[in-house]
Amino acid sequence: MSREPMEVIVIGAGTGGLCLAHGLKRAGINVNVYERDRTRADGLQGYRVGINPHGLASLKACLAPELYATFLATCARTPGHFNILTERMTELLTVPLEDESMSGGKSVSRMTLRQVLLTGLEAHVHFDKTFTSYEQNADGSVTAHFEDGTHATADLLIGADGARSKVRRQLLPHARLENTGIVSIGAKVPMDETSRALLPPKVLDGITLINAPKGFGGIVHVMEFPWRADGDGMKDGIGNNDAELLSNWPGLLYDNTRDYLMWGVWGALHNLPADPKSLGQAALLALATQITDGWHPNLRALIRASDPSTAFSVDVRTSVPVDAWPTTNVTVLGDAVHLMTPGRGVGANTALRDAALLATRLADAQQGKLSGHDAVAGYEEEMRRYGFHAVAESRKQFDASSALHRPVVGRMALSAMRTSLRVVNNVPMLKRRMVNAENEFRGVDRNAAPAAHGQ
Find all residues with CB under 8 Å of 310, minimum gap 6, and list them.
47, 187, 188, 281
The predicted model scores a pTM of 0.90
Give 248's pLDDT tier (boundaries 50, 70, 90).
confident
Summarised one tens digit per residue, pLDDT across range 426-436 is 999 999 888 88
Please state which of the ranges 134-138, 235-239, 303-307, 442-446 shows the lowest mean pLDDT. Answer: 235-239
Q: Does residue 153 surpass a pLDDT of 80?
A: yes
Q: Does residue 142 surpass a pLDDT of 60?
A: yes
Instruction: Name which of 253, 231, 255, 251 is nearest 109 in CA terms.
Output: 255
User: Is residue 419 situated within a structural domain?
Assistant: no
Residue 238: what pLDDT? 44
Residue 103: what pLDDT? 47
User: Is residue 422 situated within a structural domain?
Assistant: no
User: Is residue 389 situated within a structural domain?
Assistant: yes
Residue 37's domain comprises 7-406+433-442
User: Is residue 449 situated within a structural domain?
Assistant: no
* Residue 285: CATH number of its domain: 3.50.50.60
Give 38's pLDDT tier (boundaries 50, 70, 90).
confident
Summarised one tens digit per residue, pLDDT across range 178-206 is 999 999 999 999 999 999 999 999 999 98
Query: How many folded domains does the chain comprise?
Result: 1
Residue 172: what pLDDT? 98
Summarised one tens digit per residue, pLDDT across range 43-61 is 555 678 889 889 999 999 9
Q: What is the mean pLDDT of residues 105-113?
A: 88
Summarised one tens digit per residue, pLDDT across range 253-312 is 777 768 899 999 999 999 999 999 999 999 999 999 999 999 999 999 999 999 999 999
User: Is residue 346 situated within a structural domain?
Assistant: yes
Q: Does residue 227 surpass a pLDDT of 70?
A: no
Residue 254: what pLDDT? 73
Q: What is the mean pLDDT of residues 172-182?
A: 97
User: Is residue 292 situated within a structural domain?
Assistant: yes
User: Is residue 453 situated within a structural domain?
Assistant: no
The average confidence (pLDDT) of the chain is 89
Which secondary structure element, helix H or strand E, spans residue 177, and what is its range? strand 176-190
Q: How are the residues of the chain apportioned to helix, strand and coil, as percentages rounded to the nearest 5?
A: 40, 20, 35
425: how many CB neighbours lie within 10 A of its CB? Answer: 17
Residue 443: what pLDDT? 65
Summarised one tens digit per residue, pLDDT across range 340-389 is 998 877 899 999 999 999 999 999 999 999 999 999 999 999 999 999 99
Across 141-180, b (16+ Cβ under 10 Å) vs e yields: ebebebeeeeebebbbbbbbbbeebbbbeebbeebeeeeb
- List strands edge to edge, sheet with 81-86: 91-96, 81-86, 206-211, 217-223, 260-268, 176-190, 312-320
Share of the chain above pLDDT 70, in %: 89
H helix runs in 239-331, sequence order: 240-247, 281-291, 297-304
Find all residues with CB under 8 Å of 235, minimum gap 6, and list them.
226, 227, 228
Give 396's pLDDT tier (boundaries 50, 70, 90).
confident
Q: What is the mean pLDDT of residues 315-325?
A: 96
Q: Does residue 102 surpass a pLDDT of 70?
A: no
**Cα separation of 213 and 152, whole Å?**
53
Residue 234: what pLDDT? 55
User: Is residue 309 situated within a structural domain?
Assistant: yes
